[in-house]
Structure 1
Amino acid sequence: MASESKEVETDLSPFIKVYKDGTVERIYSPPYVPPCLDDPITSVSSKDIKVSSEVSARLYLPKITHPSTEKLPILVYFHGGGFCLDSAFASFHHSYLNLLISKANAVTISVEYRLAPEHPLPAVYEDSWAALQWVASNSVADSEIEGNINREPWLINYGDFGKVYLGGDSAGGNIVHNMALRTGVENLIGGVKILGAFLSFPYFLDPKTQKGNDDRETLVNKMWMLVYPSAPGGINNPFINPFADDAPDLSRIGVQKVFVCTAEKDTLRENSLHYVEELKKSDWKGEVELVDVEGEDHCFHALRLDSEKSQSLLNSLASFIIN
């Protein structure tokens, strides 16, 4: 715990404080939970692996009830937390993914990327791309790639590299968008293509939609400048504002279908709706689906798993992957 005598540089309570000596205090810090080879509620198995010296991940495998030649979809998932909070190993992310995976029946890789401000952006995007390339590298033989990789039997034995999906919530949804754009212009190892992507309550900013007097808007703006202080254009940077004048054209998105979900009380809702509209208006040839949940707030589905609306949204996400 940081000393109360230290001078604060940035105070984004109740989430994070950064002190002038460089100390970072994460006020919001969900407890770590270990992986489990047979979750008692969902029967999903999980284990932790190293992707590289800087990136790790938690892998999930749904219960295999009988041997089959039919392989499972692969989901590469990016957790939320404003790029500076949370973890792939946090308790509520683990519970959320166990439930989603049991419904979607997909081999899943939850990426543990480096957090800002210790590792300012764009480090998170490079970590996420490295994780995505590592997943793709498991689709080819050792002789087809340079260097050594950590082979993953769950991906090789059970994963269908013709059905790879991206998914993420909040900041994770932002990462999904940026990874989908990158796959549209850069090749993944083995020629792997991304079939679909879901963006749940994506962390997008756009000065044109902001009211200017909302405390939560102020918070998300300040958080972006904390995690990427050198961002060209500030909150008009294309990484966070897909509608900025110099943002890549949405037609470049390298996936065939997109699912976006938001909710009535989400501060970022207007940007999610705008994203879907702009995607439809672009020259992108894919299919986009929107779910806008009445009466709910940001990422409610991952925080209250047993609610009726959460279950409904989880079922929609699972159906998007299954179909």
Structure 2
Amino acid sequence: MASTTNDAKQILTEIPEWIRVFTDGTVERPRDFPIVPPTLHDSNTGVSSKDIAISNNPPKPISARIYLPHITDSQTHKLSIYVYFHGGGFFFESAFSKLFNHHFLNLVSQAKVLVVSVEYRLAPEHPLPASYDDSWDALKWVASHSNTTNYPTLNTDPWLIHHADFNRLFIGGDSAGANIVHNILVFRQPLPGDVKILGAIMAHPYFYGSQPVGSEPVTGLDQNFYNLVWKLVYPSAPGGIDNPFINPLAAGAPSLAQLACSRILVCVAEKDGLRDRGVWYYEAVKKSGWQGQIQLFEEKDEDHDYHLLKPSLNQDTRNAHKLINLMASFLVN
């Protein structure tokens, strides 16, 4: 039965402090950071950004914010590409928010890479697998720029055509975005132009399952926050919280040995409720027979997405910058 707010507007469902869904179809997301515009030359970093439409199909609009580092007139080499899928539990946040815009101004100025930060459709208005489908379509759109002759109807972007090195394609994400990264690597291949994914970054990945891992609680799992989120964003998921999209070791999940890249960086934080799942995933990949190189990085005394939140909230940024430096190094080496 729907509850009501003080003004009698009916609440259909909610996760307190995170999201409210009303019977009239409106949704409140109180944790969203404000949307900020792109800029053609950031005064602090020299990074340029712009927003582009990947798909104008009304039922399935997909867009992105592209970031380009400062390029001198004498610079001729192409840039690594980093396609990014933002976090937010599949139900909040945006590629256009202050949180991610601030992060990429910093990262791009250090790593000198071209970033495509994808804006995908959110649940519950668009339940999963919409976010997965949009993210894959966006990645295919990026890869299609490797040979525009074969894709003459493509809505092309000149920054990708003139500056992108398609032999150095990376994908990455935080939390739900890191979950998207994993699922692209095991479910979605090949890419247009036979473009290969060189490496992937998974920061504080959102994985879960019905059986506790590490120090996770052994009771109350049905009302666990991560379980409630999954029910909200993918209510029809076969197998529920043990669907292979959220539990990469569930029965019937694709083998981790087929992860479609050669390098992976998994990042966890000691105080994060998802910390043990990230370590569990790292250990499972190592044991899977996968032929690539995987690295685990853990920061002590930090919580979920600290590398994004602390700089945006003007808090102690030393550990955040340490992780951003590690990500930059991963993308250029």
State whether TM-score is above 0.5.
yes
1:264 aligns with 2:270: yes
How far has the Cα of 1:218 moved from its partner? 1.4
Query: Aligned residue for 1:72?
Result: 79
Structure 1 SS opposite 2:147: coil
Q: What's the C-alpha RMSD, in Å, of the aligned pairs?
A: 1.7
Which residue of the other structure, out of 12, 36, 45, is the alignment partner of 2:48? 45
How far has the Cα of 1:27 moved from its partner? 1.8
1:195 aligns with 2:189: no
Query: Aligned residue for 1:311?
Result: 321
How far has the Cα of 1:213 moved from its partner? 5.2
Alignment-mate amino acid for residue 155 of structure 2: N
Alignment-mate amino acid for residue 319 of structure 1: S
1:132 aligns with 2:153: no
User: Conserved in 2, the CA contact under 8 Å of 1:168 and 1:175?
Assistant: yes
Structure 1 SS opposite 2:262: strand
- Mapping of 1:57-96 within 5 angstroms? 57-96=64-103
Q: In the aligned structure 1, how far is the partner of 2:44 from the partner of 2:16? A: 34
1:154 aligns with 2:184: no
Alignment-mate amino acid for residue 168 of structure 1: G
Alignment-mate amino acid for residue 165 of structure 1: F
- The CA deviation string for residues 280-305 of structure 1, in whole angstroms up to 9 with x for no partner, is 00121000000011000000010112
Cα–Cα, structure 1 residues 123 and 3, in superposed 2: closer, same or farther, change >3 Å?
Answer: farther
Q: In the aligned structure 2, how far is the partner of 1:168 from the partner of 1:155? A: 20
Report the TM-score when normalising by structure 2: 0.92
- The CA deviation string for residues 78-111 of structure 1, in whole angstroms up to 9 with x for no partner, is 1010001000000111001110111111101000
Which residue of the other structure, out of 290, 295, 302, is the alignment partner of 1:289? 295
Query: Aligned residue for 2:187?
Result: 182
- The CA deviation string for residues 210-248 of structure 1, in whole angstroms up to 9 with x for no partner, is 414579971221011101000001110110111111111
Cα–Cα, structure 1 residues 261 and 160, in superposed 2: closer, same or farther, change >3 Å?
Answer: same
How far has the Cα of 1:187 moved from its partner? 1.2
Structure 1 range deviating more: 18-27 or 225-234: 18-27
- Mapping of 1:214-225 within 5 angstroms? 218-225=224-231
Cα–Cα, structure 1 residues 127 and 85, in superposed 2: closer, same or farther, change >3 Å?
Answer: same
Report the TM-score when normalising by structure 1: 0.95
How far has the Cα of 1:9 moved from its partner? 2.3
- Mapping of 1:106-145 within 5 angstroms? 106-142=113-149, 144-145=150-151
How far has the Cα of 1:7 moved from its partner? 2.7
Structure 1: where are the runs of 5+ without partners?
A: none
- The CA deviation string for residues 104-131 of structure 1, in whole angstroms up to 9 with x for no partner, is 1110100000111000000111100100
How far has the Cα of 1:6 moved from its partner? 2.5
Structure 1 SS opposite 2:146: coil
1:231 aligns with 2:237: yes
Structure 2 SS opposite 1:42: coil
Q: Percent identity?
A: 48
Structure 1 range deviating more: 91-100 or 18-27: 18-27
Alignment-mate amino acid for residue 49 of structure 1: I
Alignment-mate amino acid for residue 170 of structure 2: Y
Alignment-mate amino acid for residue 29 of structure 2: R
- The CA deviation string for residues 147-166 of structure 1, in whole angstroms up to 9 with x for no partner, is 61111111111110000000
Query: Aligned residue for 2:22?
Result: 19
